[in-house]
Amino acid sequence: MEYKAPLRDMRFVLHELFDATAHCELLGNGLDRELIDGVLEEAARYTGGEIAPLNRNSDEEGVTLENGEVKTPQGFVEAYQQYVDNGWASMTGPSEYGGQGFPQLVACNFHEMLMAASLSFRIYSGLTEGAVLALYKHGSDELKNVYLAKLVSGQWSGTMCLTEPQAGTDLALLRTKAEPQADGSYRVSGSKIFISGGEHDMSENIVHLVLARLLDAPAGVKGISLLLVPKFIANADGTPGVRNALSCGAIEHKMGIKGAATCVMNFDGATGWIVGEPNQGLACMFTMMNDARFQVGLQGLGIAEQAWQGSLAYARERLQSRGLAGAQYPDKPADPIIVHPDVRRMLLTQKTLVEGSRMLAAYCARQLDLEHGHPEPSYRKAASKRAALLIPIVKAFFTDMGQEVASLGVQVYGGHGYIREWGMEQLMRDSRITQLYEG
């Protein structure tokens, strides 16, 4: 299934609805309309030309685990290297660590394109951006100096390690332990499940942000700390050093997103360093989780846009019966199904949900920008409150919407929608997880 980024619709939201140029002037980042449109055009070429063609194959091939090493689907390593080399990984990163500091109002459009082109591919890079936010806000200068630039560039990737077999939503039940060492580090022991990108072959190092309990921690969520635990411990010069005592014990075989490695991660006295204050890990992790929830909302939007595009193209081509008012295309053996009222109803439902959600995503992204970048403290506070309200709504509504639009797509295709070769059923399978993870 082809994907073509909806640049006209995105530009309408950016420029006509929210005046992205004035927004960028307020934030003082130097972006103007010409640069924004140029970036989106290049993003459309990359996602449509390089990423979308990988989606079907990644679903068929999946990932493999052998001797603790995960191999991603064919083409992922090369596409990710382009992602890094062309600066897409550093798009939203802080400028003092090599990032480009793009506002979320602009970046969310590129992220939607990635989700639509291949959700499996996007999952690997999405959590890295959340790890950057958490480390930038809560990490010590020592940790930031060693790890942030590599994470911002995409040379290293990041994960979020929360869930355990007995502790899903209820993190008060987690058992992973962190034992302090004389040198200020910690030995982390325990198992985490459902870790997206926990092991893969696309980046030279993987930095895990792990929730664990210190030995003297109080019970419940008040006793949770956040630790940075890398796959390879960084050398003094910033290169990957010795292999840490952690491993991927298994990969999950899933309903969808089969090109994304969902791992069981075992920490066997692995060396880690605390992020933020002891027993304040949940507050630190929520910096990452809030970003992840907004990104998962964009996953629903991306899936829905792709489903809408496929449905529209099929409805224009598929010939079936005659229109209610008589033959609309008398030179053809039957009319395309787009002339039939119920098909039009489904297409219009898809389009309305997609366009309305894109507007809400942009409004929420704008609040995230203003929360940190508005010159007036009172405006920053108001934007923070709006973002806190909107992010759970975006996450919940967009993911339900993505599943609904994909389901409508299957219906538009009819029996062919149920057949793998057309790609619509993959969108429905891939979208289902978005309603489950990140709360």
Given this model, what pLDDT does residue 281 score? 94
Cα–Cα distance, 274 to 142 (Å, whole number): 11
Cα–Cα distance, 81 to 237 (Å, whole number): 22
Q: Residue 167: which pLDDT band, with cuts at 50, 70 and 90?
A: confident
Given this model, what pLDDT does residue 289 score? 87
Average pLDDT, the chain: 96
Helix or strand run (H / E) with residue 222: none
User: Does residue 285 carry a pLDDT above 90?
Assistant: no
76-101 residue pLDDT tens: 999 999 999 999 999 999 999 999 99
pTM score of the predicted model:
0.97
Owner of token pair 């439902």: 349
User: Does residue 49 carry a pLDDT above 90?
Assistant: yes
Given this model, what pLDDT does residue 287 score? 87
Residue at a domain's end among 229, 255, 280: 280
**Cβ–Cβ < 8 Å for 93, 132:** yes
Given this model, what pLDDT does residue 37 score? 98
User: Does residue 120 carry a pLDDT above 90?
Assistant: yes
- Together in a domain, 299 and 421: yes
Percent of the chain with pLDDT over 70: 100
Helix or strand run (H / E) with residue 196: strand 186-196
Assess if residue 148 is contained within a domain: no
- Together in a domain, 130 and 163: no
Check residue 189 and report its DSSP letter.
Answer: E
- Together in a domain, 289 and 259: no
- Together in a domain, 122 and 199: no
- Together in a domain, 54 and 83: yes
Given this model, what pLDDT does residue 28 score? 95
Residue at a domain's end among 236, 253, 280: 280
- Is 438 an active-site residue? yes
Assess if residue 240 is contained within a domain: yes
What is the SS3 assignment for 140?
A: coil
Owner of token pair 């990032």: 99
- Together in a domain, 214 and 265: yes
**What's the rounded mean pLDDT across residues 315-320?**
97
Given this model, what pLDDT does residue 171 score? 84
Structural domain for 227, as ranges: 156-280
Helix and strand totals (H; E) in the chain: 12, 11
Residue at a domain's end among 280, 313, 334: 280
Catalytic residue from among 129, 199, 371, 438:
438
Q: What is the CATH number of the domain that holds 316?
A: 1.20.140.10
- Together in a domain, 216 and 269: yes
Q: What is the CATH number of the domain that holds 113?
A: 1.10.540.10
Handedness of CA 323, 325, 326, 329 (dihedral sign): negative
- Together in a domain, 169 and 223: yes
- Together in a domain, 124 and 183: no
- Together in a domain, 100 and 167: no
Given this model, what pLDDT does residue 227 score? 98
User: Does residue 357 carry a pLDDT above 90?
Assistant: yes
Assess if residue 190 is contained within a domain: yes
Burial 283-317 (b: 16+ CB within 10 A, else e): ebbebbbbbbbbbbbbbbbbbbbbbbbbbbebbee
**Cβ–Cβ < 8 Å for 27, 373:** yes
Given this model, what pLDDT does residue 249 score? 97
Cα–Cα distance, 374 to 379 (Å, whole number): 6
Joined together, the tokens standing for residue 194 give 């459902």
232-260 residue pLDDT tens: 999 988 899 999 999 999 999 999 999 99
User: For the chain, what is the domain count?
Assistant: 3
User: Does residue 168 carry a pLDDT above 90?
Assistant: no
> Which residues contact residue 262 at a Cβ distance below 8 angstroms, ignoring those fewer than 6 apart?
194, 195, 196, 198, 251, 252, 254
Q: What is the CATH number of the domain that holds 236?
A: 2.40.110.20
Assess if residue 337 is contained within a domain: yes
Given this model, what pLDDT does residue 169 score? 81
384-433 residue pLDDT tens: 999 999 999 999 999 999 999 999 999 999 999 999 999 999 999 999 99
